[in-house]
Amino acid sequence: MQSQFFVKNHGKNIRKTFSLRMLFNLLFVTSLGFNMYFMACQYELSSVGSAYEVGSQVKKNTEESSVELHSAALKRQPLESRLKTNIHEEESVQGFNLVETSSYKVERVLFDPSIQPNKPSIQTLKLKVKNSLNYTICHKVKLGDECDSLAAHIARLMAWFLDVNKEMRNGDGLNVVYERLGNEGQFKILQLIYTSNYLKKTMEANFYKERGAKYGGYFDRNGKEISQRIVKEQSPIDEYMEIVSLPGDFRKGRRGHAGTDFKAEVGTPIRSTFDGRVSRANWNRRANGYCIEVDHPNQKIKTRYLHLSRVLVKRGQYVKQGEIIGKSGNTGRSFAPHLHYEVRGRSNKNTVYNPFDFKYHKTYQRDISDQERGEFKETVSVYDAFYDKNKIERNVQAD
């Protein structure tokens, strides 16, 4: 009996001790929880305060940057305004319809591969020739397949200065200001400066469109046009944007080009360059498109007019010099509207003449008029301003 009593009392003592410990532990845990809560709140309030200070500073910096950018934009405004009115030829995106250029965003920047391909912008290059023109351009400008197109645009202008395939030398200097147009692979050369070690001189081409003119042209710094033009009474085409290919230009996988390509709107009048008789029309139409060949016994040549939209004469018909015989187009194996004009020997059809060297074709070069000479010089100075000399020189030295 005593042992049972003892056991019973011993159980009561254990329960009392356990209850006291539980109460103590509960108080300790509660106290610890409150302490951790207050510490967390204090840290959170401190973080919020720091975040507020950082946010305020960022906002302040952003506002200051916005003011600086706005100020810089205002300083650039006169330059951009002049550029919009002077340096853009009205190009066609499709069918050579004229497009407005007033919405173009003009930026004074170096080439940046991250720029979107279809975003019009003004860019600059300053290069030293290495190996070839294509290698020089494509090695420096990361444009993928478009680099060949840019090199071709540059070569068209350089063809008036020197033989691109034979007279270029390693170390020649090439400075270019150009614009990317809306179409992929389409560029507009605004200024080209080439320093030739072979010819021992520097040559220059600046794009300028005179008031009242439908299309612009390229002139040296003194206002002399770099390309030749055939006198009006002997010219096969009234108005054209530019000459995009000359006789002897080589095509990939093909023989040398046999004619002169005048880039022009569809429907531009095409004229016989000399008196003669139409020897044939619309032959090999898959390649030539609508076409005309005229025989000129007095000059001992035959002239050809390819890729027309309309043929206005018949075989055997006699035509006078300057008579309209067709309309320019984009038919046959043609990638853009243009006139392909050929001058071939009458007795030997394999003899091809460059019309700008041909003795029966009279040529001339335009000069900027006195009334516009000041505006032309101002345009050239705008082109010059696009070169950020320090950045470009550092890039060249790094190469």
Single out the residue of 279, 372, 266 nearest to residue 317, CA to CA. Answer: 279
Give the Cβ contact number of residue 267 at 10 Å: 15
Single out the residue of 345, 347, 303, 346 nearest to residue 326, CA to CA. Answer: 303
Question: Could you read off the pLDDT of 77-106 as tens digits, one per residue?
Answer: 333 333 332 222 222 223 222 222 222 232
Burial class (CB in 10 A: 0-12, 13-18, 19+), 4: exposed
Q: What is the pLDDT of residue 257?
A: 80
Q: What is the pLDDT of residue 251?
A: 53
Q: What is the pLDDT of residue 184?
A: 63
Q: Is the pTM of this model over 0.85?
A: no
In the chain, the percentage of residues whose pLDDT exceeds 90 is 48
Q: Nearest 5 degrees, angle CA 100-CA 206-CA 394?
A: 105
Tokens representing 200 are: 């021992």
Mean pLDDT of the chain: 75
CA atoms of 160 and 163, how far apart (whole Å): 8
Phi, psi at residue 120, to the nearest 5°? -60, 130
Question: Could you read off the pLDDT of 135-169 as tens digits, one per residue?
Answer: 998 887 777 777 888 888 899 899 999 988 889 99
Q: What is the pLDDT of residue 13?
A: 44
Question: Could you read off the pLDDT of 167-180 as tens digits, one per residue?
Answer: 999 999 999 999 98
CA atoms of 88 and 180, how far apart (whole Å): 12
3-state secondary structure string across 78-129 = HHHHHHHHHCCCCCECCCCCECCCCCCCCCCCCCCCCCCCCCCEEEEEEEEC
Q: What is the pLDDT of residue 158?
A: 92
Q: What is the pLDDT of residue 42?
A: 47
Tokens representing 77 are: 């405004």
Q: Which residues pair with 262 in a beta bridge?
A: 243, 339
Q: What is the pLDDT of residue 237?
A: 97
Encoded amino acid at 373, one letter:
R
Helices 373-385 and 2-86, packing angle to 10 deg? 150
Q: What is the pLDDT of residue 22?
A: 65
The answer to whether residues 312 and 282 touch, using CB atoms and an 8 Å cutoff, is: no
CA atoms of 244 and 260, how far apart (whole Å): 8
Q: What does each of the 399 residues of the chain score in pLDDT, given as a tens digit? A: 333 333 333 334 444 444 566 666 666 666 666 555 545 444 444 443 443 343 444 334 433 433 333 333 333 333 333 333 222 222 222 322 222 222 223 223 333 333 333 444 788 999 999 999 989 988 877 777 778 888 888 998 999 999 888 899 999 999 999 998 876 667 899 999 999 999 999 999 999 999 888 899 999 999 999 999 999 999 999 899 999 888 877 555 456 688 999 999 999 999 999 999 999 999 999 999 999 999 999 999 999 999 999 999 999 999 999 999 999 999 999 989 999 999 999 988 789 999 999 999 999 999 999 999 999 999 999 999 988 653 544 454 555
Q: Which residues pair with 311 in a beta bridge?
A: 326
Tokens representing 329 are: 């187009």
Stated as kind and residue range, the H or E segment containing 396 is: helix 389-398
